[in-house]
């Protein structure tokens, strides 16, 4: 069961109302999150931008190309064929900490707790007394 927070629900209702009356949809990312900006921005005032998350609101669900747009680092999200994209870049993955898909290094208790034995290059430190 999802955690219920009255204040959080009120905040979400406020964001949905703001989006309905004052927002213009700019796009959607691969996770299904939808991105908006204000319909009208007064001169000299920075445009407001926001995201409506698909599912649980979690900031790590925002991919880099949309993060740069949300924080006014670019006028539009970076396109897939942009020269800023490099062949060595991995596809974006949201933060899995706290889920059953989180990375557990060898020897972690939840990963079986067995780690490789120390080899002969290990020497325990003892303070000089």
Backbone angles phi, psi at 27, to 5 degrees: 175, -175
Q: Which residues pair with 86 in a beta bridge?
A: none
| pLDDT for the residue 70 | 94
| pLDDT for the residue 1 | 42
61 in Cβ contact with 26 (< 8 Å): no
The tally of CA atoms less than 13 A away on the side-chain side of residue 52 is 18
| pLDDT for the residue 96 | 86
The parts of the chain modelled with pLDDT lower than 70 are 1-4, 129
- Global confidence as pTM: 0.67
């Amino acid at each position: 069961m999802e955690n219920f927070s009255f204040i959080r629900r009120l905040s979400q209702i406020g964001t949905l109302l703001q989006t309905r009356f004052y927002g213009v949809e700019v796009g959607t990312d691969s996770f299904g999150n939808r991105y908006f900006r204000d319909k009208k921005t007064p001169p000299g005032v920075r445009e407001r931008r926001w995201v409506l998350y698909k599912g649980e609101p979690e900031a790590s669900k925002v991919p880099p190309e949309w993060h740069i747009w949300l924080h006014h680092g670019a006028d539009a999200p970076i396109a897939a064929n942009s020269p800023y994209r490099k062949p060595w870049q991995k596809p974006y993955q949201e933060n899995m900490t706290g889920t059953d898909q989180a990375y557990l290094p060898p020897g972690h208790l939840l990963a079986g707790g067995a780690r490789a034995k120390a080899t002969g290059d290990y020497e325990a430190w003892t303070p000089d007394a």
